[in-house]
A and B are shown apart, each in its own frame.
Chain A
Amino acid sequence: MKHRILAFLMAIYLACNVIAAPASAGQSSCPQFYTGGVAPDLINEQLSPKTRELCNEVYAVLHSGLTRTPLYAAEHMTRENLQRAKGLPRTNSFRPDLRLPADERAELHDYARSGYDRGHQYCAGDAYTASGKDGSFLLSNMVPQDPDNNRILWEGIESATRTEAKRRGELYVITGPLFQGDQLKSLHGRVMIPTGLFKAIYDPARGEAAAYIAANAPGMDYRVISIAALEEMTGINLFPALSSQVKNRSMRLPVPRPYRQSHGGGAE
């Protein structure tokens, strides 16, 4: 009886507990977004404080209360879903993620008058339902991103990744910020500005993977690197389910072509 009461109280506690639970390594409440159902593992222990997994309809985020940004956003991209992504709402709202404690989350005013874009990590253009797209506008999915980078090169990388998913059938994609160097720029000392961005891509059918990385700066410079090299940079084991052989060899990824090939003249 005592146990039953305890279980009942636990259930009430969990039901009322709207604040996202602190993350623990590898475990996930939404395994469908991760390769082999296994969430990334934080290797660099300094990444761990104030991290919380946020499960959304079409993607998951590991949010850091230290940077007030995601450390990564994970999704399972399929040809079928991308083909469904037509006629979604054209009006949306950026907004703070109220599942996070107030002292860990970014607010709209953090980004105001900063000159930085609210750069989606899970791309709104990947969403395939109205509510899924709506959920991509939470600030828990954003990093301060150089506007030129966000709107041109990174848009091209996002678009190229979707084209690749349509061609290959399915991909697991993990996108996130790079925080390199001893010092970082920040908005109001609250939201940290990443020095770069990454998009890690795994093709489960062919068993091959690679990642795009780019500086958070204007211009078209980017690199394609192996997952192993990216994990070294981020301090995160992004795909714990993959062998080191897959991680060490990088597959070919298409050249990003923003607003040309993928957008021009109905060629998409």
Chain B
Amino acid sequence: MEKLEPFADEETVIEIGKLTIENRLDRIAMYGSLDLTKDKEGLQMARELHPLLANVVKLLSKLEANGDLPEKVQLIKPGVVKNPFA
């Protein structure tokens, strides 16, 4: 499986079971549904998920230690435009 480098791009999306994981610059979006079953398939999926989460913790901890981690990410507010179809 290809590696997802947390917060590095807006491109990468991976699926583990029916869980979708999208890399964004300001977040890792995870949604869907996942059963980590007590069997070989469950172990396989846990092994995919675990390093990904470990990388997120490592990266965010480092930012926090450097004082670079905000309380909350800032979103860019959408603008307002005239509806070209109205």
Chain A residues in the interface with B (C-beta under 8 A): 44, 46-47, 49, 66-67, 90-95, 108-109, 111-115, 117, 137, 147, 151, 155, 179-189, 192-193, 235, 259, 263-264
Contact = CB atoms under 8 A, between A and B. Distances in A.
Interface residues of B, number: 32
B81 A184 contact: yes
Contact of A67 (B14, B15, B84): B84
Given A93-B11, A151-B31, A186 B83 contact: no
Given A113-B24, A113-B76, A235-B85, 16 more contacts: A67-B84, A93-B12, A95-B11, A108-B10, A112-B10, A112-B25, A113-B25, A115-B75, A180-B83, A182-B82, A182-B86, A184-B80, A186-B81, A187-B78, A259-B18, A263-B18
Contact of A189 (B1, B12, B24, B81): B81
Contacts of A187: 76, 78-79
A66 B85 CA distance: 9
A91 B76 contact: no
Given A93-B13, A112-B26, A44 B80 contact: no
Interface in B1-37: 1-2, 9-16, 18, 22, 24-26, 29, 31-33
A259 to B, nearest CB: 4
Interface of B: 1-2, 9-16, 18, 22, 24-26, 29, 31-33, 73-76, 78-86
